[in-house]
Amino acid sequence: MNLRSSGICSSGAATLYPIFRRSPGPKLLRKTNFFIIVELMADRSYLGEFELMILLAILHLGDEAYGVPISRELEAHRGREVSVGSVYAALERMENKGMVSSTLGNPTPERGGKAKRYFQVTNAGLRQVQETRRVLSALWQRLPALKRTEA
């Protein structure tokens, strides 16, 4: 069945997920298949807080943007520890989304001959940063003046 022609999905982007449910009652294991149509967001993907901070750190670090300096940059501004593993996991997700690209540097003796993976923000990533800034600025401007409270 074509979902678009049926009127169920207007954008044409849908995924069918089977859900199995047990019928109520003692030892009755009859299962029934239900399908939920999940319409995927077409062209919008919003940056999460951590992704935004990583993109800003890459932009700040320039040519020296790889896992450890990115992690240290975030730690300096957040005031708490940021694991390099979580940074690399986010970088991999963002590379898959086309927001960052990476290149391998030359192997170094102090790293046991292992090359560093350097990251750059792509044009798509820069557009996401600018769009996020625009949205956040607009939301902040619409807030009533916040009262300052001294601790």
- Taking residues 127-139, what's their average pLDDT? 93
pLDDT at 149: 58
Top pLDDT among 115 and 50 is at 50
Top pLDDT among 17 and 72 is at 72
Top pLDDT among 91 and 111 is at 91
Band (pLDDT 50/70/90 cuts) for residue 53 is very high
Neighbouring CB atoms inside 10 A of 39's CB total: 14
Per-residue pLDDT tens over the stretch 70-89: 999 999 999 999 999 999 99
Question: Alpha helices, DSSP H only, in 45-148?
Answer: 49-61, 67-78, 84-96, 123-141
Domain extent listing, the chain: 3-39, 49-141
pLDDT at 5: 41
pLDDT at 147: 62
Topology of the domain covering 49-141 = Arc Repressor Mutant, subunit A (1.10.10)
Neighbouring CB atoms inside 10 A of 151's CB total: 2
